Amino acid sequence: MSKLALVTGATSGIGRAYAERLAAEGYDLVIAGRRQDRLEEFAGSHPEVKVRTVAADLSTTAGIDTVAEICASEPLAMLVNNAGVAHYMPLAELPAEKAAELVNVKVLAPTMLTRAAVAGMQERGQGTIINVAGMIAFSGPAPHSLMPRRAVYGGSLAYLVAMSQTLSAELEGTGVTVQVVCPGVVATEFHERQGFDLSAVPRMSADDVVTASLRGLELGETVCAPGVEDASLLDAVFTADLAAFGAQSVELASRYRSS
């Protein structure tokens, strides 16, 4: 029996690369995206597997509910939460509707789709959830000169990292695997849709991101950083996180006490 995977944001870029790779590995697919024409084009070009297309806008409650219902009712072997928008700009200048769209697509949608899928995966004793974030998730401490204009975007990706790590621990021993993928700049339409021309900037291919993700699953990585050669750097970040977490006390830290 073929395994079933659901991929959001599947009409281009990393999402399409996941769909292509999973189809080549024999997965039947549910592909979700905003553009019905591209979804149908993909389905028509992959007659070797079953492809169900779902036109849904994950910035809306209706779109999230539509895809979540599929996640809850279908025996998914894999869920890839890839859909994304950028909206790079200072928070004070970010229109309310764009802030809501970004948080809905990169925070609310992955949360609700994962919630819908995970119970069935636990019951079946197997499943994989992949959340596509980015290395900007680690850029919070960067000064203004290095990382301006993307507070909500960076925060949403950091949420995906923390949620994925915590959920991975929560699901230990259930047969369900969780991974968050954190690429750097990738050669897709993503930035062009936001009005950025990165054609002269070295970029990783979407196919390489998927290769890293699937190999990372084999290696047991919860956080997959396709462009980071020295994985000990990530280990150092997470070790420091736990050290700070473990160092808390009910006593007020001395630096906050009156002299």
The residues annotated as belonging to the active site are: 153
The per-type count for the chain, helices as H runs and strands as E runs, is 8, 7
In whole angstroms, what is the distance from residue 21 CA to residue 177 CA?
19
CB-based contact 9:15 (threshold 8 Å): yes
If residue 110 lies in a helix (H) or strand (E), which one and from where to where? helix 109-124
Q: Indicate the SS3 state at residue 7.
A: strand
Residue 145, phi then psi, degrees to nearest 5: -65, -25
Across the beta sheet with 223-224, the strand order is: 51-55, 28-33, 4-8, 78-81, 127-132, 176-181, 223-224
